[in-house]
């Protein structure tokens, strides 16, 4: 479905103003370029001893001595409001590099020296489409997103959960899995992504948050990659269930939910997104006003997606859309305003 790595789109002045007004833009150390100065690397192995796509990177002593206080300060700004006195017992235990991703992320492992507890955050190259994806997730989904931006440096909080590919491999066949409940959640997840045009929800780009409840286990599927926010012109890219590696989940949905169930759960998600849009109306409108003036993909992608959307809904509402932001606004209006 996706043939090549997408290009970066720089943040515009209106987008930077929006981020400043919403508390996302802070004077954090600009460390992304410095993190690229690693002198060596080795494949990172997960706790099971399996190689991953991440590389554990090493730095010369002087470079690491300069990076360490900056990275702990960033963690303090992200997590505890920038009170550096609360971060004196924190250290940088490990830095991993993901050359595989569009944003070429660094994963920073921060460890508390008092109790050995560790946490992660990510340092990425700030890309406009990714920032719009993060904001739409924060505004329209049941999930809150914590991130900061300064210059070309994007800091993202770690989103905890079982990676999608691991969930399908290790959990989907478990006898005690509530298959109806997980099928329902995947339907709602797919609908959330489609309505705000977040694409490329392959299994490596989402996690499953598993929470024990008083009687049953609750599941929530959360995207962790927002690079493909309204970029591709192929409508199928925005339909998570069409990706081949999601086929086991699609089979689960089809075997445990009938068409009426699926329509019901989609309608539930539309209603819930409509309520969130009402609560965040001012923020959402400001975001969409900025977004619809941005160039977030090649124009031919806009034309292709515009034609596909018009055919899908049988409407001329998309005909005047000249940007991906305008398409996103029109899509949300068509589906969500019917619920208001």
Please give the pLDDT value at position 336.
Answer: 87
Whose tokens are 């991953």? That residue is 52
255 in the same domain as 214 = yes
Same domain? For 196 and 113 the reply is no
The model's pLDDT over 71-84, given as tens digits with 9 standing for 90+, comes to 999 999 999 887 77
If asked whether residues 95 and 167 sit together in one domain, one would say: no
- Are 203 and 74 part of one and the same domain? no
Q: What average pLDDT does the segment 119-138 reach? A: 96
Tell me if 70 is assigned to some domain: yes
Here the tokens at position 192 are: 């959330």
Looking from the CA of 277 toward its CB, the CA atoms found within 13 Å total 22
In a domain, 1, yes or no: no
Q: Is residue 24 part of a domain?
A: yes
How many domains does the chain contain in total?
A: 2
Q: Which one of 136, 157, 178 terminates a domain?
A: 157
In terms of pLDDT, which residue wins out, 175 or 17? Answer: 17
Q: Are residues 152 and 197 in the same domain?
A: no
Q: Which domain holds residue 304?
A: 162-339
Residue 170 sits in the same domain as residue 85:
no
pLDDT attached to residue 64:
96
pLDDT score, position 275: 96
Under the banding of pLDDT at 50, 70 and 90, the label for residue 99 is confident
Strand order in the sheet with 90-97: 40-45, 51-58, 90-97, 106-112, 118-125, 153-157, 147-150
pLDDT at position 293 is: 96
Q: Is the pTM for the entire model greater than 0.85?
A: yes
Q: Is 6 among the domain residues?
A: no
When pLDDT is averaged across residues 288-317 and rounded to a whole number, the result is 96
Q: How far apart are CA 93 and CA 23, in angstroms?
A: 29
Judge if 204 and 326 occupy the same domain. yes
Residue 42 in any domain: the answer is: yes
- Tens of pLDDT along 231-281? 999 999 999 999 999 999 999 999 999 999 999 999 999 999 999 999 999
Distance between CA atoms of residues 75 and 72, nearest Å? 5
* Exposure class string for 229-264: b at 16+ Cβ within 10 A, else e: bbbbbbbebbbbbbbeebeebbebbeeebeeeebee
Is the pLDDT confidence value at 107 over 60? yes
- Is residue 2 a part of any domain in this protein? no
């Amino acid at each position: 479905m996706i043939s090549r790595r997408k290009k970066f789109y720089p943040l515009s002045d209106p987008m930077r103003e929006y981020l400043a007004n919403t508390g996302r833009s802070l004077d954090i150390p600009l460390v992304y370029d410095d993190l690229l100065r690693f002198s060596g690397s080795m494949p990172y192995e997960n706790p099971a001893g399996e190689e991953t796509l991440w590389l554990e990177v090493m730095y010369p002593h002087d470079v690491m001595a300069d990076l360490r206080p900056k990275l702990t300060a960033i963690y303090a700004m992200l997590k505890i409001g920038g009170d550096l006195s609360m971060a004196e017992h924190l250290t940088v235990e490990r830095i991993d590099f993901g050359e595989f991703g569009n944003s070429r992320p660094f994963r920073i492992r921060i460890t508390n020296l008092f109790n050995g507890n560790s946490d992660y955050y990510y340092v990425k190259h700030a890309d406009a489409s990714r920032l719009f994806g993060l904001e739409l997730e924060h505004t329209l989904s049941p999930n809150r997103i914590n991130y900061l931006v300064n210059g070309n440096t994007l800091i993202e909080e770690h989103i905890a959960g079982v990676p999608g590919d691991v969930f399908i491999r290790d959990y989907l066949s478990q006898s005690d899995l509530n298959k109806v409940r997980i099928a329902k959640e995947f339907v709602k997840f797919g609908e959330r992504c489609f309505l705000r045009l977040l694409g490329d929800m392959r299994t490596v780009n989402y996690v499953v948050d598993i929470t024990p409840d008083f009687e049953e286990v609750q599941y929530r599927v959360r995207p962790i990659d927002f690079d493909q926010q309204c970029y591709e012109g192929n409508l199928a890219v925005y339909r998570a269930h069409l990706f081949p590696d999601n086929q086991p989940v699609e089979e689960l949905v089809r075997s445990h939910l009938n068409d009426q169930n699926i329509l019901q759960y989609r309608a539930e998600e539309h209603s819930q997104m409509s309520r969130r849009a009402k609560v965040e109306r001012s923020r959402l409108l400001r975001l969409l006003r900025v977004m619809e003036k941005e160039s977030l993909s090649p124009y031919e992608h806009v034309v292709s997606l515009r034609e596909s959307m018009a055919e899908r809904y049988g409407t001329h509402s998309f005909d005047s859309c000249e940007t991906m932001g305008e398409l996103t606004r029109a899509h949300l209006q068509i589906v969500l305003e019917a619920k208001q």
